[in-house]
Amino acid sequence: MNARGDMPAGIISYFKSWLFLLCAFGISSCKPETQRTFADDVAPIIYEHCSNCHHPGTAAPFSLLTYNDVAKRSLTIKAVVDKRLMPPWPADPEYSHFCDENFLSGEEIKIINEWADQGSAAGDLTNAPRAPEFPSGSLIGKPDLQLHIKPFPVKGINTDQFLVMKIPLELPHDTFIRAIEFVPGSKYVHHVNGHLISFENGNKKNVFEGEFVLDTKNETREDVLRKMQLLNDDGINPLLTIIHPINPCRPPSKNAIASFARSDFEIFLLTRKKTRGMKKTGMNNRAHRR
pLDDT of residue 14: 43
Do β-strands 177-183 and 263-269 pair in parallel, antiparallel, or remain unpaired? antiparallel
Cα separation, 182 vs 112, whole angstroms: 32
Q: Which of 21-25, 120-124, 138-142 has the lowest mean pLDDT?
A: 21-25
Confidence band of 33 (pLDDT split at 50, 70, 90): confident
Domain map of the chain by residue range?
38-127, 145-269
Phi (first) and psi of residue 258, to 5 degrees: -100, 150
pLDDT tens digits for 161-183? 888 888 888 888 888 888 888 88
Q: Report yes or no: 105 and 39 within 8 Å, Cβ to Cβ.
A: no
Quick check: pTM over 0.85?
no
Q: How confident is the model at residue 49 (pLDDT cuts 50, 70, 90)?
A: very high
Per the DSSP assignment, residues forming a β-bridge with 139 are none
What's the whole-number mean pLDDT along residues 17-28?
38
Q: Name the nearest CA neighbour of 233 among 203, 209, 200, 211.
A: 203
The stretch 124-149 carries a mean pLDDT of 88
Answer yes or no: is pLDDT of 268 > 90: no
Collapsing DSSP to helix, strand or coil, 222 comes out as helix
Give the Cα-Cα-Cα angle 163, 169, 174 (nearest 5 degrees).
130
Pairwise CA distance, residues 138 & 180, whole Å: 10
pLDDT at 138: 78
The pLDDT tens digits for 112-134 are 999 999 999 999 999 999 999 98
